[in-house]
Amino acid sequence: DAKTTQPTSMDCAEGRAANLPCNHSTISGNEYVYWYRQIHSQGPQYIIHGLKNNETNEMASLIITEDRKSSTLILPHATLRDTAVYYCIVRGSFNDYKLSFGAGTTVTVRA
């Protein structure tokens, strides 16, 4: 699976949009971009995934660049409960059974 690069940490003001970047310059054509988050003392939670089109669900939006070498997760209106570690994961089609987590981005939402 392609490796990802994320900032170690970022702060966000409550009620504002949080934009979380992820670089995956070695991504191949059949690999998807996934985002999970882990709130303190809990297991990871799936947020969203995409291949090349932008995606939106009730939790977040995922913007993937045209060359697919980077993506941005957008939390439109961050709340204190969004404080968590966010993981960007690239996942291939032939070993889709496992997730390869990096260190992620620690997002702190401040009131």
Task: Name the site residues for other proteins (rule: CB under 8 A).
Answer: 32, 34, 41-46, 49, 51, 85, 87, 93-94, 96-104
Alpha carbons 57 and 45: distance in angstroms, whole number: 14
Q: How far is the CB of 65 from other proteins (least distance, A)?
A: 20
Q: Select 103 or 111, whichever has its Cβ closest to other proteins.
A: 103
Task: List C-alpha distances in Å: 97 to 37, 91, 94, 110.
Answer: 18, 9, 8, 36
Alpha carbons 60 and 54: distance in angstroms, whole number: 11
Q: Select 65 or 93, whichever has its Cβ closest to other proteins.
A: 93
Q: How far is the CB of 45 from other proteins (least distance, A)?
A: 7
